[in-house]
Amino acid sequence: MKAALLYVTDGYPFVAEDNFSGDELQFLTAGPWDLLVLPKLRGMPPSPLPACGYPLDTCLTAPDGQRIRFLADRRSLPLMAAEIRNSLARHVLPRPVGLCKSVAVALHARAALRRLILERGLHRRPLVLYAFWFLPVVAGAWMLRREFPHMRLVSRLHGIDLYGFQSPGGYLPFRFWRARMADVFAPCSQRGYDYLAAEGVPAAKLTRRYLGVPAAARTAAASPGEGLHLVSCSFAEPVKRLPLLARSLVALARRHPEVRLHWHHVGDGPQFGEVKAAVGAAPANLRCTLHGRMSVEESRKFFEGEAAGGLDGLLCVSSSEGLPVSMMEAQTAGLPIVSTDVGGVAEIASPGTGLLLPADFSQEQFDAAVLALRDQKKPELREAVARQGRERFSLENYRVFLTDVLEPQMRISEEMLRAR
Q: What is the pLDDT of residue 22?
A: 78
**Per-residue pLDDT tens digits of the chain, which is 420 residues long:** 799 999 988 777 766 556 678 789 889 988 999 998 887 765 544 555 554 444 444 556 655 566 677 887 889 999 999 999 999 998 898 988 889 989 998 998 898 899 989 988 999 999 999 999 998 989 999 999 999 999 999 999 999 899 988 777 788 999 999 999 999 999 999 999 999 999 999 999 999 999 999 988 889 999 998 899 999 999 999 999 999 999 999 999 999 999 999 999 999 999 999 999 999 989 999 999 999 988 888 899 999 988 888 999 999 999 989 899 999 999 999 999 999 999 999 999 988 889 999 999 999 999 999 999 999 999 999 999 999 999 999 999 999 999 999 999 999 999 999 998
Tell whether 105 and 248 lie within a shared domain: no
Q: Residues 407, 315: one domain?
A: no
Give the C-alpha separation, 47 to 202, whole Å: 37
Residue 320 lies in a domain: yes
Q: 110 and 202 share a domain?
A: yes
How many Å apart are CA 337 and CA 353, to the nearest integer? 7
Judgement on whether residues 174 and 271 belong to the same structural domain of the protein: no
Q: For the chain, how many residues are written?
A: 420
User: Hey, is 271 helix, strand or coil?
Assistant: coil
Q: Which run of H or E residues covers position 153?
A: strand 152-157
Q: Indicate whether 318 and 358 sit together in one domain.
A: yes
How many other CB atoms are there within 10 angstroms of residue 364's CB atom?
9
- Residue 219 inside a domain? The answer is no
**Which residue in 137, 5, 9, 6 sits closest to 62, CA to CA?**
137
Q: Rounded to the nearest 10 degrees, how much is the dihedral formed by the CA atoms of 339, 304, 16, 278? A: 50
Q: Are residues 322 and 401 in the same domain?
A: no
Q: Is residue 30 domain-shared with residue 153, that is, in the same domain?
A: yes
Contact 38, 60 (CB under 8 A): yes
Residue 16 CA to residue 385 CA, distance in Å, equals: 28
**How many angstroms separate the CA atoms of 413 and 126, rounded?**
5
| C-alpha neighbours within 13 Å on the C-beta side of residue 5 | 27
**In-domain check, residue 221:** no
Q: Is residue 220 part of a domain?
A: no
Confidence at residue 14, expressed as pLDDT on a 0 to 100 scale? 66
Q: Does residue 217 fall inside a structural domain?
A: no
The answer to whether the peptide bond before residue 45 is cis (omega within 30 degrees of 0) is yes
Residues 198 and 291 in one domain: no
- N-to-C CA span, the chain: 15
Alpha carbon distance 137, 79 (integer Å): 14
In a domain, 222, yes or no: no
CA nearest to 370, candidates 278, 282, 252: 252
Provide the 3-class DSSP secondary structure of residue 288.
strand
Global confidence as pTM: 0.91
Does one domain contain both 97 and 156?
yes
Question: Residue 218: inside a domain, yes or no?
Answer: no
Domain of 31? 4-212+395-419
In a domain, 116, yes or no: yes
286-292 vs 184-187, strand pairing mode: unpaired
DSSP state of 201: -
Q: What pLDDT was estimated at residue 57? A: 47
Same domain, 235 and 152: no
CB atoms within 10 A of CB 403: 11
- Please state whether 169 falls in left (phi above 0), alpha (psi between -120 and 50) or beta: left
Find the CATH number of the domain harbouring 174: 3.40.50.2000
Q: State how many domains the chain has.
A: 2
Per-residue confidence (pLDDT) for residue 51, from 0 to 100:
46
Instruction: Examine the domain organization and report whether 119 and 194 are in the same domain.
Output: yes
Res 53: pLDDT = 41
Does 105 share its domain with 254? Answer: no
